[in-house]
Structure 1
Amino acid sequence: MITRDVAAFLRAARECAPDFGPATARAAFLVSPDGFARAEESARDNRYMAGTGGFDAARALGQHRTLQAALSSVLPTVCFAGDPAAPDGLFPNNVFGTAPGRLVVGRMRHPIRQREAARQDIRGFFRDVVGYAETDLSTQPHACELTGALVIDRARGLGFCGLSERCDECGARLMHEAFGLRATLMFDLAPGEYHTNVVLAVLAGRAAIAWPGGFADVGAVDAIAALYAPHLAILSQAEQAAFAGNALSASADTAWMSAGAAAALSAANHGVLEGAGFVVRQVALDAIEAAGGSLRCCVAEVY
């Protein structure tokens, strides 16, 4: 089911056992920040992006390499070459997503990002090397920026889809079907928010991080609390501004976020994650965060 009805979603979600699939990915891939620069099209609706003078390409590349090495300590992590004509290409999770045996290609809102979906090396890798079937949403008219807009509880097959200019209701339905989810809750993001994954993270199906200020519909926050409390870290505005909501569980016992996010995270929220069985792992990504995304945005998961 896919719905805006919080009560109906909760009834369905509570019946979903954690047997939908692996709670965390079996591998990941990144795209190198070659040609790292401000993408003016994307900046129109990404308030987190720095000005032109805030971009340091060499530093971003070094931090990206450190991220790959760090993630490789817990799961196989490969990196594809970047494209200087696609300055947002280092955030592949918006364009490429996976379910077991299937690659999903999303439809980006901005033309500068739509060119990423045409990458034949990534498509060919999954088709010819990994043997995945492909669901291509990139040529239909509805924006659906995959796991930027849609946060997924992979253990239970639940989706949390924030609607904005980057994803409309039709796009949400297309993603719900492409990932084969059991139940998806649609809700409006607060004005000025572009992606759900900067205000919400679900970690290995058993904990969540959320910033209520990022939701136009408080009922969606109540649903998340009902499903994940007491393992729910509620962020302050300062914590969220440091990208603490842009987190990822790359293994059953690790919660990954940028060093800036980890430093901003309160002792109480560190305790929530530790109580849920997670060790917080961090990587310095301040140069990359100038582009308006953080650690979760950089990582495309392979299920």
Structure 2
Amino acid sequence: MITRTPTEFFRHAATLAADRSATAKAAFVVTPLGFRLAEQSATDNTYMAGAEAFDADAALAQHRELQRRLSLILPTIAFPGSAETPDAVFPNNAFGTACGTAIVGRMRHEVRQRETQRTDIRRFFSDVLGYDIVDLSLQDHPAELTGALVMDRARGLGFFGLSERCDEEGARLMHQAFGLRASLLFDLTPGEYHTNVVLAILAGRAAVVCPNGFADPAIPQAIADFYAPSAVICSAEEHAAFVGNCISVSSDTVWMSQRAADALSAPHRDVLNAAGFKVESVALDAIEAAGGSLRCCVGEIF
């Protein structure tokens, strides 16, 4: 099922068992070597700072700490970045996985399209892991994988925020590639570039929603209702601090940047704790200058 009608979607979603792996078995990251402002990406990413805010040394140090911390929870592999691909520190938009399949995304900007042609990452999935490759990178429709798509992996649900980085055909192709059972399509607010900045589904049992990022306010409310009482509805301050850009890499932890954790209100932290999640955080302010946060840095291996 692929629909724009939330009542139809959630009626069907309620019939689906949470019988799939909810969290990844491993992760991969791409180091911020050559970290700098990507001018093309800045044209439609309002979260990006100016060039003067980019500190390559600080970004590298914070990224190393992120990998170290994640590796205590699950195997976390690092690939080197490059000055030719300054946004590669956010690899989840370019590469994704689902049960023995690796998906290569179709990036909107040419500077990011270079990432999807990396043979080392492709061969890691095909030659090392033995995954089949579904290559969306050469078709015409933008499909920026788990930037545009937020999944409830346990139930096989997809939440697609449409923008210049994902159109309806791109969403259909990703729905098929990830083997989703049902997907809800909706428009993001003008100025929002990725769904994963305004929505997170945590291990199939909790949701973090930033309602200001959705063009239709009925959509975030319907999502929150479906996951209630384990739903955090973010304030504008939490939204701006990347609270929505969090991820559960295990069944009992939710990871976000230190900036996001500092902005997370006590009642919202209590909601996550009650849902069985400990909040873990890592300082990533240097990397957040590039317009993404912790979830964007983590590629999941299912």
Per-residue deviation, residues 65-102 of structure 1 (Å, max 9, x unmatched): 00000000110001001111000000000000000100
Q: Structure 1: how far apart are the matches of 2:34 and 2:153?
A: 33
Aligned residues: 302
Partner of 2:157: 158
1:47 aligns with 2:49: no
Partners of 1:219 and 1:170 lie apart in 2 by 23
Shift of 1:153: 0.4
Q: Any residues of structure 2 matched to 1:186-197 within 5 Å, and which? A: 186-197=185-196
Residue 249 of structure 1 corresponds to 248
Counterparts of 1:27 and 1:297, CA distance in 2: 15
Question: Partner of 2:262: helix, strand, or coil?
Answer: helix
Alignment of 1:255-266 (within 5 A): 255-266=254-265
1:93 and 2:89 correspond: no
Taking the aligned partners of 2:282 and 2:114, their CA distance within structure 1 comes to: 29
In structure 1, C-alpha distance between the alignment counterparts of 2:103 and 2:226, rounded to whole Å: 27
The amino acid of 1:276's aligned partner reads A
Instruction: Give the root-mean-square deviation of aligned CA atoms.
Output: 0.5
Give ranges in structure 1 of 5+ residues lacking alignment. Answer: none
State the 1:175 CA deviation.
0.4
Look up the match of 2:11: 11
* Percentage identity across paired residues of the two chains: 64
Cα drift, residue 223 of structure 1: 2.2
Q: Name the counterpart of 2:295.
A: 296
Match of 1:108, SS state, is coil
Work out whether residues 107 and 144 of structure 2, in 8 Å CA contact, stay in contact via their aligned partners in 1.
yes
- The aligned counterpart of 1:130 is 129
Q: Secondary structure at the match of 2:141?
A: coil
Normalising by structure 2, we get a TM-score of 0.99
Matches within 5 A, 1:131-280: 131-280=130-279
CA positional deviation for 1:117: 0.3
In structure 1, C-alpha distance between the alignment counterparts of 2:17 and 2:217, rounded to whole Å: 25
Q: CA deviation at 1:218?
A: 1.7
Unaligned runs of 5+ in 2: none
Alignment-mate amino acid for residue 264 of structure 1: A
Alignment partner, residue 56 of structure 1: 55
Distance 1:241 1:7 in 2: 29
Distance in 2 (CA, whole Å) between partners of 1:91 and 1:163 is: 19
Shift of 1:10: 1.0
The 2-side partners of 1:6 and 1:129 are apart by 40
1:7, distance to aligned residue in structure 2 (A): 1.2
